[in-house]
């Protein structure tokens, strides 16, 4: 297979973690007989300093021409002025919009060697925790009409049938490749937009008779995530509900440095990135955890390229390294061997 991948290092630790992800990509290419053409792209604070904008047109064009986009992280104190006309985050929003990414796919998994890092007690987390939150990314209350009138303010939750249909199809396709169980999260007992959501999901479900659908109210979903997270596999959510629940799910794992994500749209192209930020305070110190970025590569291979065996090889390598008690500083525990960014990337690459 021959694929073009736009690679955005970004700011802060982005340079370091992307370097380790690239090592993994090259090992996968060599081991499985693929060719990945890596195209450097500038975005974020570094692009502001150089070009005056967070996402130059030529950077967006390069991403649109690629088969997938791999991103490190953007932002930092240097560009944190809230009154600034140009901010690094504008690059990320512009990239998602430019690529037509409407589905945010965020897996949350507890690796057995890291189970002790979870805030949940052993009797709960010991049952296992491996879910995917599929969050609608471009609609809902964040994009509805908003404003102020006198001493009141309002934000409008609005969804159309096509918007719900396309995110539902994305979630059902993921569920079909996993345990074939999908929880659709809404607030249909109160919100009209959620009633439309539930009705539309039910219609889409007819195209996926092999997937079981469970409707769950968002407040109950939040409770059940900490009471019995093992019951979930794929969670389909609106924008605001997914924003909240995916953060809750990430904390159950206890290790933000382990969590990858994908933003996808129509077709196979996607944007892949760790969920953590640019961590400028540790940039250049060879202590950042590259695993979330490496796992983002695994997501890219699986979702955009359909290379499931290659994606599993990366996941297995990460699990092997953790099982042998190797850690970066952020996930270190008593008695483990602490590795730097480069050394962790090297070891995972060797285990593939």
User: What residues are annotated to the active site?
Assistant: 142, 187, 219, 243, 247
Distances (CA, A) of 204 to 233, 270, 277: 18, 23, 35
All residues at 6 or more sequence positions from 65 whose CB lies less than 8 Å from its CB, including other chains: 4, 6
Interatomic CA distance for residues 149 and 338, integer angstroms: 55
Specify the length of the chain in residues: 352
Q: State the CB neighbour count (10 A cutoff) for residue 352.
A: 19
Give residue for tokens 């901010």. Answer: 87
Interatomic CA distance for residues 109 and 232, integer angstroms: 11
Strands 260-264 vs 103-109: parallel, antiparallel or unpaired: antiparallel
All residues at 6 or more sequence positions from 203 whose CB lies less than 8 Å from its CB, including other chains: 165
Query: In degrees to the nearest 10, what's the CA dihedral of 136, 138, 140, 144?
Result: 180
Distances (CA, A) of 328 to 210, 251, 347: 41, 18, 12
Please choose, from the candidates 238, 286, 17, 14, the residue with its C-alpha nearest in 3D space to the C-alpha of residue 139.
Answer: 238
């Amino acid at each position: 297979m021959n694929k073009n991948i736009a690679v955005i290092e970004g700011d802060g630790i982005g340079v370091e973690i992307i370097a380790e992800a690239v090592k993994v990509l090259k090992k996968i290419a060599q081991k499985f007989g693929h060719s990945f053409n890596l195209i450097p792209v500038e975005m974020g604070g570094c692009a502001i300093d150089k070009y005056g904008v967070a996402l130059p047109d030529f950077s967006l064009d390069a991403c649109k021409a690629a088969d997938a986009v791999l991103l490190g992280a953007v932002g930092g104190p240097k560009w944190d002025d809230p009154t600034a006309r140009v901010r690094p985050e504008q690059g990320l929003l512009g990239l998602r919009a430019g690529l037509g990414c409407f589905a945010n796919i965020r897996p949350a998994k507890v690796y057995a060697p890291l189970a002790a890092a979870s805030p949940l007690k052993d009797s709960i987390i010991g049952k296992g925790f491996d879910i995917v939150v599929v969050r609608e990314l471009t609609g809902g209350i964040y994009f509805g009409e908003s404003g102020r009138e006198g001493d009141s303010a309002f934000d409008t939750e609005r969804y159309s049938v096509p918007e719900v249909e396309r995110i539902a199809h994305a979630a059902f396709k993921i569920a079909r490749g996993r345990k074939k169980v999908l929880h659709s999260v809404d607030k249909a007992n109160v919100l009209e937009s959620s009633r439309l959501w539930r009705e539309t999901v039910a219609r889409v479900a007819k195209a996926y008779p092999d997937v079981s659908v469970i409707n769950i109210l968002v407040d109950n979903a939040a409770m059940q995530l900490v009471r019995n997270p093992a019951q979930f596999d794929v969670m389909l959510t609106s924008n605001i509900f997914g924003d909240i629940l995916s953060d809750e799910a990430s904390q159950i794992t206890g290790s933000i440095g382990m969590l990858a994500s994908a933003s996808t749209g129509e077709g196979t192209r996607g944007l892949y990135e760790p969920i953590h930020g640019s961590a400028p305070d540790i940039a250049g110190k060879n202590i950042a955890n590259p695993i979330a970025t490496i796992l983002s590569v695994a997501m890219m291979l699986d979702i955009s390229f359909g290379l499931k065996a290659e994606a599993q090889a990366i996941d297995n390598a990460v699990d092997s390294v953790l099982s042998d008690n190797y850690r970066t500083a952020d996930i270190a525990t008593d008695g483990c061997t602490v590795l730097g960014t480069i050394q962790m990337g090297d070891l995972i690459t060797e285990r593939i």
